[in-house]
């Protein structure tokens, strides 16, 4: 793909958004703006202006010189991160990989740590940015890999998944890559978490119950507490059935649209859901034998 540029006396200008996002990711991994500028060989003000608005009449840069964009995008967190960072995203990534059956002994080599230290990372209140960057890179490589295909024996695989289930650790399919590092974000186990439908999906799919769905179900029960017992049971039965196959059907419909060359965005619009919801449904519901035989 050719990058669209515009004329500039000091070189062509390009869209600053890719560089801005890269700087934000570097900051999440513990790389300061000053360290990014130093590693890229560009002025501090150039990097700073990518992130911070300077008031309504001086917004953050929309354009950036091509040469500076390339230098900034070439900076790698694992090469320059030195600060301590919030461990939330790192903890969630490790827990998600364990929910997929990856034992700590196998994760250590992927993140540059002795295996015995992986458990320590899970308990630390702050971690080095380099560790956060290494865990994020390992997660990107391993989240959709079956550990049994990489030498993990079935017994260990089952034990690790059981440990994750007991601790209610969310798998990769429950996390949005854009929010996994946000301490205020919640895993989306069902595609309907925070609703009574989500509670039923947890129940039917034997997923660890999340607090938002538990609260939503208790609120539903309170709202229907004055109903005649027979009518209340009918309402419960209806709510349960409505939740049974919703997301599995969404995943199957999404795969069918994608097979015809429709983009994720277009498929999500046609199905009346967000792009992220569709992607998470596809992760949580792999292609079935019935679909493969069709």
Domain ranges, residue 64: 13-80
Residue 56 has pLDDT above 60, yes or no: no
Q: Are residues 67 and 131 in the same domain?
A: no
Which residue, 80, 110, 134, sits at the end of a domain? Answer: 80
174 vs 245: which has the higher pLDDT? 174
**Is 186 part of any domain?**
no
Chain CA centroid to CA 51, Å = 22
Q: Are residues 132 and 61 in the same domain?
A: no
**Is 39 part of any domain?**
yes
Q: Which range has the top average pLDDT, 3-17, 128-142, 235-249, 270-284? A: 128-142
Angle at 118 between CA 112 and CA 122, to 5 degrees: 130
Distance in angstroms (rounded) separating the CA atoms of residues 127 and 184: 19
pLDDT for 106-148, tens place per residue? Answer: 998 888 888 778 888 898 888 888 788 888 889 988 988 889 9
**Is 260 part of any domain?**
yes
Q: Are residues 54 and 90 in the same domain?
A: no
Number of domains present in the structure of the chain: 3
Q: Are residues 207 and 170 in the same domain?
A: no
**Is 74 part of any domain?**
yes
Half-sphere exposure for 122 (CA within 13 Å, toward CB): 19
pLDDT for 170-207, tens place per residue? Answer: 988 888 887 888 888 888 887 778 888 888 888 877 78
Rg of the chain over Cα atoms, rounded to whole angstroms, equals 23
Q: Are residues 227 and 282 in the same domain?
A: yes
Q: Are residues 104 and 72 in the same domain?
A: no
Residue 9 pLDDT? 53
Q: Which residue has the tokens 């792009």?
A: 275
Calculate helix-pair angle for 246-259, 196-205, nearest 10 degrees: 90
pLDDT for 63-112, tens place per residue? Answer: 889 999 999 999 988 777 767 788 999 999 999 999 999 999 899 888 88
Distance in angstroms (rounded) separating the CA atoms of residues 203 and 243: 10
Residue 40 pLDDT? 92
Tokens of 70: 């390339």
């Amino acid at each position: 793909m050719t990058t669209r540029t515009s004329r500039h006396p000091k070189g062509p200008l390009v869209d600053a958004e890719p560089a801005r996002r890269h700087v934000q990711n570097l900051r999440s991994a513990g790389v300061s703006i000053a360290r990014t500028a130093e590693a890229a060989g560009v002025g501090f003000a150039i990097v700073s202006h990518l992130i911070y608005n300077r008031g309504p009449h001086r917004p953050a840069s929309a354009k950036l010189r091509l040469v500076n964009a390339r230098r900034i995008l070439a900076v790698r967190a694992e090469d320059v991160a030195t600060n301590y960072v919030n461990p939330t995203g790192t903890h969630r990534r490790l827990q998600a990989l364990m929910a997929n059956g990856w034992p700590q002994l196998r994760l250590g080599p992927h993140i540059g740590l002795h295996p015995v230290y992986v458990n320590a990372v899970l308990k630390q209140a702050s971690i080095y940015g380099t560790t956060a960057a290494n865990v994020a890179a390992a997660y990107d490589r391993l989240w959709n890999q079956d550990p049994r295909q990489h030498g993990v024996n079935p017994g260990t695989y089952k034990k690790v998944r059981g440990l994750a289930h007991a601790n209610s650790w969310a798998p990769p399919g429950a996390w949005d890559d854009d929010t996994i590092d946000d301490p205020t974000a919640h895993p989306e186990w069902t595609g309907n978490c925070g609703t009574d439908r989500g509670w039923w999906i947890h129940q039917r799919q034997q997923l660890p119950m999340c607090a938002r769905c538990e609260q939503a179900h208790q609120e539903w029960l309170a709202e229907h507490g004055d109903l005649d017992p027979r009518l209340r049971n009918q309402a419960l039965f209806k709510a349960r059935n409505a939740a049974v196959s919703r997301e599995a059907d969404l995943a199957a419909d999404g795969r069918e649209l994608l097979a015809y060359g429709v983009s994720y965005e277009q498929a999500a619009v046609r199905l009346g859901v967000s792009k992220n919801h569709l992607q998470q449904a596809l992760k949580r519901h792999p292609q079935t034998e019935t679909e493969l035989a069709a």
